[in-house]
Structure 1
Amino acid sequence: MSLVAEAFVSQIAATEPWPENATLYQQLKGEQILLSDNAASLAVQAFLQMCNLPVKVVCRANAEYMSPSGKVPFIHVGNQVVSELGPIVQFVKAKGHSLSDGLDEVQKAEMKAYMELVNNMLLTAELYLQWCDEATVGEVLEDVDQCCQALSQRLGTQPYFFNKQPTELDALVFGHLYTILTTQLTNDELSEKVKNYSNLLAFCRRIEQHYFEDRGKGRLS
């Protein structure tokens, strides 16, 4: 999206309050939704929950074809349609809701670096499991372990990655880790890597209980 287009969307978004009938679209649950798309959808849901913005989740067989960008998940808010976490974060920010405004510039840069790490390593692992990419299983699992180690060290004993308040990084990490931990796969090596880090497990449980109280009734308990 060009800078002019972004500015135009931001201007439109800022003039309208968040509606009660905002809708998030994703593929049908079960066999149709891909691991990576499920993680992406959950990340957006977590982000909106953290912003205290209501959204109804609708599963459609043709969700990706309904999206103007061909990407899922996407949200329908008023007369606006926005897909993927990054653009949705900017769209929501234009409406006056931001999880990262309290961070200084150094922290914001650090947050973006960790988000890139998650997208480069965890997303790659999910895509490998979907499409059997050329990378070997061992290399993929090693990348996942390195990513989890870095996230675990950054989180430490804090409730969230940047102290006491969640940011879009927390939403993104939760989306990917929770999906990996709760999706039944033919091989459990991926989830076992995540389970090696107790503070990441506690982090996922904390967000599940706080923001998804009725989701799966404690699938990580």
Structure 2
Amino acid sequence: MAAALELRCWGGDWGLPSVHSESLVVLAYSKFSGAKLTVCPIDWTWKTITASVPELLCGDAVVQEPAQILHFLRKQRFNADYELTARQGADTMAYIALLEEKLRPALLHTFWVDAENYSNLTRPWFASRSPFPLNFVVPSRQASAALSRILVTKGEAPLHRISEVEGKIYSDAKECLNLLSYRLGKTKYFFGNSPSSLDAFVFGFLAPLFKATLPSSTLQSHLKQLDNLTHFCDNILAVYFSAQNPSLPPPVQETMDANLQKLTQLVNKESNLIEKMDDNLRGSPQHKTHRAESRARVSTVTD
């Protein structure tokens, strides 16, 4: 028996199963590949100070980072990319690298560095999900990590301060969104009618930016002008994360079994009716003729 899969991640809000991009990537891919995960939000626990999420537990194995978790799930035969060609696989790696290089710095700045967004949305949300005294520590620690990552990756000479790199990172992010919109075009997913790991990454990066109520964000405004990307996010939420819209139709065999069950119930009901009529008509001259006709009807239904 395969070991159970447990995913630790930040919890959901804003109509999303998680507000955390990396956690959303794993959650979406698990839906696409059919992996059954037990989701354990780390909200209100001491793990918020030390845990690196998302974190997948399977028996004695502990896997972190979305790319590593997706690789682990593929080894467990949960593969959403099995129909991709070699060219599409290469394109997937290229676009994920583009997301990391061009879009992630702008997302970090939008949620963690922009003073208005941080004060009014990000810090209150994460503080409310962490117990005292971590409600003071967790948001500031996350913000410091975001700022450091932006400066390390984008603060090349002569741009050394965050105010000097803002224009560059948002220009790169808008260019990335335009490229994604052009690549998606009018298709449902990036490689046809079935979602793949690239769709999981794009959804994980875009959905929080699209759904969060940000007081200040030119990047969010730009995303909302790209209708195919916003429809892409809404479609995945509706198909894979809505209880009212199951992602897959019932299997054909289940439909056949349901029809057979209904037919059996109909036959049993008719048989019970026949027995009651037999009791009422027993002894009458018409009894034998009526019984024979009723039995013939039941035989026709069951054939």
Does the Cα contact within 8 Å between 1:41 and 1:72 map onto a contact in 2? Answer: yes
- Give, in whole Å, the separation in 2 of the partners of 1:28 and 1:94: 26
Structure 1 residue corresponding to 2:72, chosen from 91, 96, 99: 91
**Bigger relative contact order (CA 8 A; separation at least 6):** 1
Partner of 1:13: none
Instruction: Give the equivalent residue in structure 2 for 1:197.
Output: 226
- Residue 214 of structure 1: how far off its partner (Å): 4.4
Give 2:22's match in structure 1, choosing from 28, 40, 58: 40
- In structure 2, what is the Cα distance between the partners aligned to 1:73 and 1:64? 11
- Deviation per CA, 1:56-77: give whole Å up to 9, x if none: 222224445664xxx3111112
Which TM-score applies when normalising by structure 1?
A: 0.77
Question: 1:103: which partner in 2?
Answer: 84
**Structure 2 CA distance, aligned partners of 1:62 and 1:184?**
27
* Alpha-carbon spacing, 1:79–1:66, altered in 2? closer, same or farther (3 Å): farther
1:79 corresponds in structure 2 to 60
User: What is the total number of aligned residue pairs between the two structures?
Assistant: 190
What's the offset of the Cα at 1:78? 2.3
Aligned position for 1:50? 32
Can you give the 5+ residue segments of structure 1 that lack an aligned partner in the other structure? 1-15, 216-221
- CA distance in 2 between counterparts of 1:150 and 1:63 reads 37
SS in 2 for 1:76: strand
Is the counterpart of residue 146 in structure 1 residue 175 in structure 2?
A: yes
Tell me the residue number matched to 1:177: 206
- Tell me, yes or no, if structure 1 residue 115 matches structure 2 residue 144: no
In structure 2, what is the Cα distance between the partners aligned to 1:38 and 1:96? 25
CA deviations on 1:151-206 (whole Å, 9 max, x unpaired) are 11111111110111111110010011111111233313221111111100111111
Separation (CA, whole Å) in 2 of partners of 1:136 and 1:189? 15
Greater share of residues in helix: 2
- Between 45-54 and 120-129, the greater mean CA deviation after superposition: 120-129
Tell me, in whole angstroms, the C-alpha distance in 2 between the residues paired with 1:28 and 1:181: 17
Q: Which amino acid aligns with 2:175?
A: Q
CA distance 1:119–1:214, shift in 2 (3 Å): farther
Q: Which moved more, 1:97-106 or 1:193-202?
A: 97-106
Which stretches in structure 2 are left out of the alignment for 5+ residues? 115-146, 148-161, 245-303
Contact kept, 8 Å, 2:10 with 2:23, in 1: the verdict is no
Give the superposition deviation at 1:139: 2.4
Separation in structure 1 between the aligned mates of residue 239 and residue 67 of structure 2, nearest angstrom:
23
Runs of 4+, deviation exceeding 3 Å: 27-30, 61-67
CA offset digits 1:122-160 (Å, max 9, x no partner): 211122231464254332222121111111111111111
Q: Any idea what SS the aligned residue of 2:63 has?
A: strand
Change (3 A) 1:209 1:81: same
